[in-house]
Structure 1
C-alpha cells in the first residue's frame, strides 16, 4: 500500500464523520453570496486554518469562488501552510503518496515534488506533516469544491521571501494549478485591538508588502513569498472576508483573526 498521511485533527477541527463533514462544508459555502460568478477564477487564495466553527465561514468566501466556477478545471493544488508542531528549516515536503481526510484520499503530485529536488530550501519530512493542521483543514473544502485533484503539500518553516517565491515559481503552472496559502492573522489579542491590527495587515497584503511578521500572520513566511510571486505574475488581490473568533464562535477577550483573500489574473 502507498504511504498515506492520515488525518490528524478530524473530530477536533472539523467533523470526523464524512456526512457531517460534507454538511458542515456545504453549509459554510451556502452562506456565501458570490456577487459576480463570472469573474475570473482566482489563481491564488489565502485561507484561515482554525476549527471550522471559528473560521469555516471565512474560508468559505475563498472556496465559494471555486465552487461557482466550472472552467477552467483545477487539477492540481499547491498548498503551503506554516509549521506549528515541528521546527522546519526551509520548506518540508512529505514522502507520503496521498493525504487522507474523512472525504477520501488526495494523491500527492510526486512528479511536482521531484521537480523541487535541486532546491536546497526544500527538505523531505513526513514528521513535519504528521500532526500539522494548517494544510489538513483546507483539504475538505478543496475536496468539496474541486472533486479530483492532485496535491503539492509543503510545510513552510524558517524560509526567506526569495526561497518561498522560488518554489512557487517552479510550481506555478497554468490554469490547471491553484495555489492555496493557509494562514490565520493575529493571535490572542483583545477584540478591538485585533481588528485594528488585522485591518492593517490586510492592507499590507493588498499592497504586496512582503515584510509580514509571524505576530501579524502565522503563515507570514508563506504569504510573503506568495506576494512576491503574485506581484511578478501581475495578479490582482481582493479581500473577500475579514473577521475573528469573537465574530464567529468565541469570546472577545482573546481572539484569533481570519481573512480570506483572492489573487486573480487580470485581463
Structure 2
C-alpha cells in the first residue's frame, strides 16, 4: 500500500483532526448565503494556509456537500518542481489528518496512457496546491475517490481539452486550485485580482492577460471549458492576506468560484 504522505499538515493546515474540524465549524458558522447552482461541475479554490484562505475555500466546498461524485480530480500548479506537462499521482491512498482518501489509481494510470503531456513525477509529493484541498474533500465528499494532477509548463488549451473530456463523465468533479496575485500593495492587488475575477465571472479569456494568479493556467483552462460547455460561473468570495495580518503593503489575493448549470 503506497501512501502520498501529508507533508504540509502542521503548517498550511493543522495536523490534528480536532483542530481541522474546529476550523471547518468556525468557517461554517460565518458562512454567508449563496445562490447555489443546480449542478456544480467544478470549483475554483485557493490553496494558502487555512488561516488566510480557508474560509474562502470552504464556501465553495460547502456548496457541494450534497453532491456524491465518484471521483474528484484536483488540478493545481507546481510550486517546487519544474514540470513539462503534468504529473498524475500513482499512490494508492492520500493521507489526511481526517483519514486517508483512496486514490483512483486505475483512472490515473489511464490518464497517463491517454495524454502524452501527463506522467508521474514523484517529486510532486511535496506540492501544497493540491494537498491543501484533501482535508476539505475528505470532510465534504467523504465517499469520493481522488485523482491528483500537478501541472507545470503546459498550454492551457491542452489542459482545457483534458478538462472537457473529464467533464463528459458525470462521475467526475473538478477542483481547480489557485491563489491570485502575490506581494503587491492591497490597492495594486485588488486591480490585478479584479481582472482575474472578472475573467472568471464573464468567461473572458483575454482578461486573464491583465491579472496574476499562480494557478492561472488551470483557471484559464477551466474557463475555456466553461465556454465550450456553456456552464455558468459565479464568484463566491475574495479577500487578501491583509485581512489576517493587517499588513496592506505586501499581500496575497484569494478567491473561490462555482462552475456549473
How much does 1:213 deviate? 5.7
Indicate the larger mover: 56-65 or 168-177.
168-177
- The residue aligned with 2:173 is 178
> Which residue is 1:48 aligned to?
46
State the match for 1:257 in structure 2: 253
Deviates more, 1:202-211 or 1:45-54: 202-211
Match of 1:248 in 2: 244
Candidates 161, 173, 176, aligned match of 1:166? 161
Gaps of 5+ in 1: none
TM-score scaled to structure 2, two decimals? Answer: 0.93
Q: Is the 8 A contact 1:183 1:218 kept in 2?
A: yes
Distance in 2 of aligned mates of 1:175 and 1:118:
19
1:230 matched to which residue of 2?
A: 226
Deviations 1:118-166 (A, max 9, x none): 31111111212x1100001111111111112101110011110221012
Q: CA deviation at 1:85?
A: 0.6
Which secondary structure does the structure 1 equivalent of 2:41 belong to? strand
Measure, in 2, the Cα distance between the counterparts of 1:24 and 1:158.
Answer: 34
The answer (yes or no) to whether the contact 1:45–1:181 under 8 Å persists in 2 is yes
C-alpha displacement of 1:52: 0.5
CA contact (8 A) 1:209 1:224 kept: no
Does the 8 A contact of 1:213 with 1:220 survive in 2?
Answer: no
Query: Shift of the alpha carbon at 1:221?
Result: 1.3
Q: 1:252 to 1:259 in 2, by over 3 A?
A: same
Contact 2:45–2:175 at 8 Å: present in 1 too?
A: yes
**Pairwise CA RMSD:** 1.7
d(CA) in 1 for partners of 2:171 and 2:237? 25
Does structure 2 conserve the Cα–Cα contact (< 8 Å) formed by 1:29 and 1:63? no
Q: Which of 21-30 and 139-148 deviates more?
A: 21-30
4+ residue stretches of structure 1 with deviation over 4 A? none
Q: Name the residue aligned to 1:63.
A: 61
Instruction: Return closer, same or farther for 1:225/1:239 CA change in 2, 3 Å cut-off.
Output: same
Contact 2:184 2:250 in 1 (8 A): yes
In structure 2, what is the Cα distance between the partners aligned to 1:41 and 1:170? 18
Secondary structure at 2:205 match in 1: coil
Task: Say if 2:200 is the partner of 1:202.
Answer: no
1:11 counterpart = 2:31: no
Shift of residue 48, structure 1, vs aligned partner: 0.3
Structure 2: runs of 5 or more not aligned: none
Distance in 1 between the 2:105 and 2:194 partners? 38
Q: Which residue of 2 aligns with 1:113?
A: 108
